[in-house]
Amino acid sequence: MSEFRVQDKGPQRVLLSGVFGPFGVDDAYGRKENLMELFHNQVTKAQEMGSWRFQQRSFGLYFLAANIKADVTVLDFPSRKRFMEELKKGYDVVGISFITPNFVKAKEMTGLTRQISPESTIVIGGHGAAIDGVEHLLDCDHVVKGEGIRWLRSFLGEDPDAPFVHPTLSISERQAAFGAPFPGVGANLLVPGVGCVNGCKFCSTTHFFGRKYTAYLPTGKELFETARRIADERGIDEFSVMDENFLKDRQRAQDLLAEMERHGRYFTFHIFSSAEAIMAFGVDNMVRLGVTFVWIGFEASSSKGNFEKNEGIDPKGLTQELRDRGIIVLASGILCQEHHTQENIQTDIDFLVGLEADLVQFMLLTPLPVTALYRDHERRGLLRQDLPFEEWHGQKYLAYHHPEFPDNTAEKFLIAAFRQDYEVNSSSMYRVAENVFRGYGHLAALPGRDACLEARMEQFRRRTLEYATILPLVARYPVNETERQRATALDRQISELFGRPTVRERLRRIAIHVLALRWKLRCRLLGDRIQPSTIVTRYGPGAKKSATIWSRMVPSPKAIGALASYLPRPFRAYCVNLGTSANK
């Protein structure tokens, strides 16, 4: 392991990079199941054209860059060639972040760094750094496990306790369904802290951060001030909160609500939260707080496959209570747990489908390095030493020996589960549209609404009208006749309450039908894989923080612009704006 030497001339030059593409393909470095798309990979993957499509940046790299004084370049989603070109510029430090399934890519990148920039100090991090003996498996100088900002500051000779800087970022790049961009420019990213104290045995997050929570924004006031700054910079009051269990700190959430009410600034939030934390905080308080989306780990129906966080909880009742108030629910479950057999696993699939959540994540039980589950399976000799890390993504093979699910039989149940949820509950796009409409109705029926609830009701009204424009596409490309009837009826109900679509809304419906046809043709000819854009962001003392994007995604701004030229004049600017927003 080499020692880092602080230069006497100017700030250090640091390159922080994610792994290279292409992603979601079978090649020497990866597998087709390991998509760079969270929802299309493990939530809406069976929902055909209606699957939610978006990519998310390697957020940790931007937080590191924003919190050090060095001259930093963040390289996100590079090609192998693009990474090599950047190395030729000569960096003092090269940091590479990766997850376990991308181990081979990280190994290639450390090797390339040694060849092209031998003077660079190589630092690896991310959840892949938890792999046992990774410092001997990869040609690197330092391994960062856990929270990295303090480590990197100390490493560069800076003050590890300097004030925390939260960067301004969108949560996703080009969110779309049916080939049509979603309205708006995408929610802001908000990271109050990292880690979780619950300690679920399978969870890499809780164990990677030592079963403790490190708060970046420890008070409600700090959360509010950070959110207000970011919202003012991007012009949008919607936030996606990357925090493993946001409502666990109940006092902080209550103080955040109090700050919003005091200032009359009503942000909305997408959050992760355990069921017990939701019950403690209260569903009606979530409505006031502006929670519009919550990801809950229900995991399984029985005590054998469940965890302490779900003791005493009625999952079905909680899900319906949340949805009755317009809060979108993503329920996650784990298949092929140790108690599962090919006979009883359907019980848990039926349970998760029966929750009637807006979205459902199905994952195979995977003993990722650093987790208590991994240690237990290692001790019992259950780990699959024959399975390369590229396959440890939880969407095809089991990474441990399960007598009931040999070879690739686990994948059969996984695919069937996604399909069952789609056919029984219809597409998530339909469910979400129905949900927000229900949320509006709930608040509209409440007497004596205060300013907070009036603001929330107006937010539900706007979101209902936004999602309503997608309903004709849902009806045109349904999974079955039931979904077609559901989407048609919901579209009619919304029109009866809010009036027929305006000229602008009708034009948008025409445009998204054209985009959907284009996407359908593209999928038929080229498949549905989408490669994320390469994003290069420069940070430096006194320099403007800027991002340059090399686009390889569909639909492209050029394509949207071409489409706009054939539309009536009032719609052209709006369509071009969609393309511009997608590239910010």
**Residue 336's domain is classified under what CATH number?**
3.80.30.20
**Average pLDDT value for the chain:** 89
The residue range of the domain holding 192 is 187-425
Distance CA 85, CA 567 (A): 41
Phi, psi at 269, each rounded to 5° = -135, 140
Model confidence, pTM: 0.90
- Asked whether residue 559 carries a pLDDT value surpassing 70, the answer given is no
Measure Cα distances from 531 to 21, 54, 552 in Å.
Answer: 8, 10, 6
195 and 148 assigned to the same domain: no
Residues 95 and 207 in one domain: no
Residues 255 and 353 in one domain: yes
Residue 229 and residue 349 share a domain: yes
B/e letters for 320-357, b = 16+ CB within 10 Å, e = fewer, are: ebbbebbbbbbbbbbbbbeebeeeebeebbebbbebbb
| pLDDT tens track for 350-362 | 999 999 999 999 9
Question: Is residue 159 located within the same domain as residue 198?
Answer: no
Report which of residues 552 and 44 the model is more confident about.
44
Q: What is the pLDDT, as a whole number, of residue 138? A: 97
Last residue of a domain, one of 393, 425, 457: 425
**124 is a domain residue:** yes
Q: Give yes or no for residue 569 having a pLDDT over 60.
A: no
Read off the pLDDT of residues 99-144 as tens digits, 9 standing for 90 and up.
999 999 999 999 999 999 999 999 999 999 999 999 999 999 999 9
User: What pLDDT is recorded for position 186?
Assistant: 82
Q: For residues 211 and 90, is the Cβ–Cβ distance under 8 A?
A: no
Q: Which of 425, 451, 470 is the last residue of a domain?
A: 425
Domain annotation covers residue 199: yes
Q: Model confidence over 363-393: pLDDT tens digits?
A: 999 999 999 999 999 999 999 999 999 999 9
Would residue 520 count as lying in a domain? Answer: no
CATH of the domain at 140: 3.40.50
Same domain, 156 and 191: no
Domain end, chosen from 396, 425, 454, is at: 425
Per-residue pLDDT at 139: 96
Considering the domain boundaries, does residue 473 fall inside one?
A: no
- Is 234 a member of any domain? yes
Are 159 and 201 contained in the same domain? no
The percentage of the chain sitting over the pLDDT mark of 90, rounded to a whole number, equals 80
pLDDT tens-digit series, residues 464-481:
999 999 999 999 999 999
Separation of alpha carbons 113 and 140, rounded Å:
9
Specify whether 152 is located in the same domain as 194.
Answer: no
96 and 204 both lie in a single domain? no
Answer whether residue 546 is part of any domain.
yes
522 domain residue, yes or no: no
Task: State whether 218 and 295 are in the same domain.
Answer: yes
User: Where is average pLDDT lowest: 37-51, 174-188, 397-411, 413-427?
Assistant: 174-188
**Mean pLDDT, to the nearest integer, of 325-353?**
96
Evaluate whether residue 109 is within a structural domain. Answer: yes
Taken in order 318, 322, 324, 325, the sign of the CA dihedral is: positive
Beta-sheet pairing, 53-55 with 173-177: antiparallel
pLDDT one-digit tens code per residue, 53-98: 999 999 999 999 999 999 999 999 999 999 999 999 999 999 999 9
Q: Say if strands 238-241 and 268-272 run parallel, antiparallel, or are unpaired.
A: parallel
Question: 241 and 203 in one domain?
Answer: yes
Give the chain's domain count: 2
Q: Tell me: do 248 and 380 sit in the same domain.
A: yes
The tokens for 523 are 């999928």
**Predicted confidence (pLDDT) at residue 584 exceeds the cutoff of 60:** no
The first and second tokens of residue 116, run together, are 């092209």
Return all residues near 38 (Cβ < 8 A) that are at least 6 apart.
Answer: 54, 56
